[in-house]
Homo-oligomer: A and B are copies of this chain.
Amino acid sequence: MSTADASQRAVSWLQEFEAALGRSDLPAILAMFADEECFWRDMVAFTWNIRTMEGKQQIADFLSATLASVEPRNFRLEGDAHDADDVTEARFTFETKVAKGRGILRLKDNRAWTILTLAQALKGFEEKCGRTRDKGVEHGVHRDRTTWLERRETEEATLGYTTQPYCLIIGGGQGGLALGARLRRLDVPTIVLEKNARAGDSWRNRYRSLCLHDPVWYDHMPYLPFPDHWPVFSPKDKLGDWLEMYAKAMELNCWTSSECRSARFDDVRKEWIVVVDRGGERVTLRPKHLVLATGMSGVPEIPKFPGAERFRGEQCHSSKFTSGEAYAGKRCVIVGANNSAHDICADLWEHGADVTMVQRSPTVVARSDSLMELAQGPLYSEDALSRGVTTDIADLTVASLPHRVAPRRAAKVYEEILRRDRDLYDRLDKVGFLYSFGEDGSGIHAKYVRRGSGYYIDVGACELVANGSIKLKSRVTVEQLTETSVVLTDGTALPADLIVYATGYGSMNGWAASLISQEVADKVGKCWGVGSDTAKDPGPWEGELRNMWKPTQQEALWFHGGNLQQARFYSLILALQIKARQVGLPTPVYGQQRVHHLS
C-alpha cells in the first residue's frame, strides 16, 4: 500500500481518536485499540511519569484518572505514515492543556497496537531557539549596560553562594551535562557537580584503549551534534574533550573538582541541604531538586573471594584499570566476560601479557559490524539519515516500542546475526566460551535494559578468545585466592600477578546510599531494569526502567543515567518535569512506581 494510503489511515484514526478523547468517550476510545494486544506508553504528557499501559483495562484506568485534567487535542500527522508488514506507523503531534507533545502510532487493521505520547515542551515555557532566540545585544543605548561576559561572570560568582540553584546535578558526564544543557535552555538555575578536575574526565580516566562501543549516529549530545567527520567510534579522550567544550558552549555552571559530601532533604522547607567540597572549599547548597547523574552503573561491585587479603599481586576493579602497558610478560586473570573484561583482556594481550579470562556465566556477544548494520543501522546510520530518519525521529521511534515489544523485534535481528556470524559463534563454542542471546534471544540492548550489563559488543577480542590468545576458563567461578594464584571451582590454580574484577556495578540507588542515606536508598529501591524476571532483573513486571527519569518515592530526588542516546533523549523528559515544578504547574503523577527490590 502507498504512503498516501497509510497517511490517510493514520489521519482518520487520529481524528476519530481526538473526537473520542474530547467526548471522554472511553468505550469509543478503547474500541480503537487492538483486541489481542495493545499498549499506550506515555512520557510526561498525560501521566507526569514514564509509564506503559498494557491492554485495554490499564488504558481505561489511566484515561479515567487523567483525561479530565490533561485535555488532549490537536492531533496532527507529522510527515508521512508508512506501512511495514502488517503495521502502519505514523508520527504525530498533539497538545494538552499545558504541553506540546509528539508521538508515534502503530496501527494493525486500523486499530492501535502501540501508541506513544510524549511531552516536548511546556506552553509558555518553550526553549528560546530559532526565531525566539536571544538577540545577544540590546540594541539602542543603555547606561549601565552589562555585557554577556559580565553577566556570565556574575552568575558564576553568585550561583551557589548568594543565590541558590533550583536544581543540583551530581555528575558531569554525558548525563549531567545533557540535562544541564536542557535546564539552561529552560532557564532553570542549575549547578552540575563534577568530581574530576575537568568535565569529560570520567571518560578520560578510563582504560587507555577505550572507544565508545556505540556508533556516532547514536551518540550526539542535545543541540550540538558532532560534525560529520567525527569518527564512528569516539575515542574516550576525544569524547572527553567534546564534553568539556560542550559544558562551556552551553554555558553550564559546571563545578569541577567538586564532590558531594552529604545530602539530606529538608521536609519542612522542601529543599535539599547538600554539602559540597569545591576544590577544598566547603559550600552548602540548597537546591529544590537533586539529580543523581553519577552513572547508571552505580558503585563498583567486587566479589568477596576467600583469601583476597593474602594475595600478594595486584587486584583492582575494572573501573580502576587504565592500561596494560605495565604488564608485558605478567600473568593476568580477568574475572568476568562482559564488555570491560574483553576490552581489558585485549589491551593486556596487545601489551604482551599472559591473559586468562574467567567466565562465570554466559555472555551475550555480537560483532560490532553486524550490530551497526542490523540492530542500529535502521535508525542510527548514514543510511537512516539518507532516508530522512534524523536523530530526533530515531529517538522517538526507539521510545515508541514498549518494553514488552522491543525484545521480540530484537530477537529477529539476532536470528539474522547468528546466521551471518555462525562461524565466529562456532569457534567460540569450540573453546568453551558460553555465548547466548539472552533468555528470550533478544540480545544486547534488552540485556542493557534489564541489567545494564551481561554482553560484549565484539570489536576484536572474540577472535583472541577463539584463537586461544586470551586463555579462557568458563563454567567456573573463583573458589579462593592464594598468595600467588586464583583457585577456581574446578580445582585449577591460575598463577597471577594481576587480578582484574570486571564484575560489574551495583544499582544506582547505591549512590543514594553513599551520598544521602541508606534509608533514602531503600525508600527509592532498585534502579534500572523492567522486572523481566530474567537474570539480575527480578519480577514483578514493571514495564519501565525503575526510578529512571521519573518521580521516585523520595520527593525531589531523580535518577539520570545511561548511554549517550539516553542522556540525549531522557534529559528532555526529566528537564520538563523539573521545569514544570519550578513554574508551579500541577504535576499529578499517575501510576507512581512501587518498590519491590532494595537493590
Contact = CB atoms under 8 A, between A and B. Distances in A.
A423 interface: no
18 contacts: A128-B229, A129-B227, A129-B229, A131-B382, A133-B228, A133-B229, A135-B233, A139-B369, A141-B461, A145-B350, A147-B209, A147-B235, A148-B235, A185-B229, A223-B228, A223-B229, A242-B249, A245-B249
Nearest to A367: B139
Interface residues of A, number: 60
Nearest to A144: B350
Contact of A238 (B148, B208, B349, B382): B148
Contacts of A346: 141
Interface of A: 127-131, 133-137, 139-145, 147-149, 152, 185, 208-209, 211-212, 216, 223-224, 227-235, 237-238, 241-242, 245, 248-250, 346, 349-352, 368-369, 382, 459-461, 463-464, 469
Contacts of A152: 237
B228 A129 contact: yes
Nearest to A352: B143
B136 A208 contact: no
Contacts of A230: 133, 136
A88 to B, nearest CB: 28
A231 B133 contact: yes
B237 A148 contact: yes
A428 to B, nearest CB: 15
Contact of A237 (B134, B147, B460, B463): B147
Contacts of A216: 133, 136
Contacts of A131: 382
Contact of A460 (B136, B141, B208, B223): B141
A350 B229 contact: no
A351 B141 CA distance: 11
A390 to B, nearest CB: 14
B248 A133 contact: no
Nearest to A351: B143
Contact of A208 (B147, B185, B228): B147
Contact of A149 (B128, B133, B231, B235): B235
A211 B463 contact: no
A382 to B, nearest CB: 5
Nearest to A230: B133
Contact of A140 (B228, B249, B463): B463
A329 to B, nearest CB: 13
A167 B130 CA distance: 38
Contacts of A224: 227
Given A137-B235, A238-B148, A461-B141, A382 B209 contact: no
A191 to B, nearest CB: 19
Contacts of A463: 140-141
A250 B461 CA distance: 31
A241 B233 contact: no
Contacts of A148: 211, 231, 235, 237-238
A350 to B, nearest CB: 5
Most chain B CB neighbours (cut-off 10 Å) among A136, A235, A463: A136
Contacts of A382: 130-131
Given A136-B211, A249-B242, A143 B350 contact: yes
Contacts of A234: 136
A469 B129 CA distance: 35
Given A249-B242, A461-B141, A136 B232 contact: yes
A235 B130 CA distance: 17
A136 B235 contact: yes
A99 to B, nearest CB: 20
B141 A231 contact: no
A349 B241 CA distance: 42
A229 B251 CA distance: 12
Q: Which of A241, A352, A368 has the most CB of B within 10 A?
A: A241
A150 to B, nearest CB: 9
Q: Which 5 A-B pairs have the closest CB atoms?
A: A136-B231, A148-B235, A137-B211, A149-B237, A136-B233
Nearest to A134: B231
A385 to B, nearest CB: 8
Contacts of A469: 141
Given A137-B211, A245-B245, A245-B248, 7 more contacts: A129-B228, A133-B232, A136-B212, A143-B351, A143-B352, A152-B237, A224-B227
